[in-house]
Structure formats: structure tokens, C-alpha cells
Structure 1
Amino acid sequence: MMTSIIFTLLFILFIDIQLKMAYAHGNSHHICKLENRTIVFNVCKIRPRITLPVCMGYCSSSTHWSFHSKRFVHSTTACTVTDHRTEFFVCPDSTHTAIQLMIPVNCSCAKSACRRYHR
């Protein structure tokens, strides 16, 4: 009788862990891509509308066991720019204000490559 109860409790615990792991691995799909967005620059007298690519979407989430807090912890990575190019934009008005634009070329759910620029 006692072994039956212990076996049942272990079985329930095993199923609970399996369900949590299935949930963690089930959220592994992500959609992180470049999409064109129209941006209005407020630095020019005549406010130009420019269509630029931006990183949009969501990344995978995961769940792992934290021994410190003794529970499952949820974590997510951000959709960030991993590569970019720079271009100068000059306002088409009398001020001829110049702006240097960082235009995304690639997006990823990996950690941002911008960290290396902040030394």
C-alpha cells in the first residue's frame, strides 16, 4: 500500500516536470525579422517621412530550474540588431542638418552585437 502511494506521487511529479519541460521547449519558435517602418524626423523644418527597416517580432522563451529560488524560472531573449550600416541623411530644407543613421541589416534573437561598442 505504501509503495503504491509513493509510486503514484513520483509518477505525478514526473508528469508535472514533463509538462513544464514540454511547455519550455514548445515555445522555442521565434519570429525576429526586418520590417519596413515609416519614420518622421523632427529635426528638419520640413519633416521628411523615411521608410527604414527595423527589427520586429519576438524570440523564444525558455524555462529552466533555478536551484537558488527552487522553482522554474522563465527567460526570454530580445529581437535585436546584429549587423547594421551607417548612412548620412541631409535635411532637404535651408538648414541642411545632417543626421547619421544606423540602419539595421540583420536581426537575431542572439545577444546584441551593440555591447562591443560600449567599452
Structure 2
Amino acid sequence: MDRLLMTESPVIVPSSPSLSAVQIVAALSDRASGVSARELARLNGRGSFDSATNAEITATLERIIDALLGHACRHITEHADTPVGQRHAIALQELFALEPSSESGPAW
């Protein structure tokens, strides 16, 4: 994907204004937190877990989210002021249909 985004091909600018790297990380964090909370609620609705099991499931979901989104979030934050970072930010914004978030998000 890096090679694709690093090419000199024209960048298609989304119809809405581009979000900053910090806003994208925060919006991805919000999205991941929402999905995680809904899945935990769904699992708890199927049967109750003790607090240790619930904590382990929560920690597992957090590790999965970090594994899936951590690198991308670090990359766009580290390269926010470069053309590559800006293209990655636009791609993530479009891919996940992200809207601005008021929170600062995790420090991936």
C-alpha cells in the first residue's frame, strides 16, 4: 500500500475537508471503541461472564485493535506534514468514512 500511496498519481481529494492526522487518529479510536463496546455488550447479552473473563476479553479486543490500526495511526502521525502522510490520512478518512472527533485519541 505504501508504494501505491507514494506514487506520483494524483490525489483524489474527498468532498469534505481533509481531517488532520490527530483528528483521524481520534476518529479511528472512537470507531474502534464503539465497535468494541457493542461487541462486549453483545457477548454479555448471550451470557454473563465473571469480571476476570470480561477483563480478558476487553484486553484481547484492545490488542486486536492496536494490531490492526496502530501502525497506520503512528505512520500518519509521524508523516503528517509530508505528501505521503497526507495521502495516507486522506485514504484512511475515505476508507473508514471518518468524521472529526473532539477527543485526542490514543497515543499509538
Q: Is TM more than 0.5 here? A: no
Give the structure with higher Rg (CA): 1
Query: What TM-score, normalized to structure 1?
Result: 0.24
- Pick the structure with more helix per residue: 2
Query: What TM-score, normalized to structure 2?
Result: 0.26
- Pick the structure with more strand per residue: 1
* Bigger relative CO (Cα 8 Å, ≥ 6 apart): 2
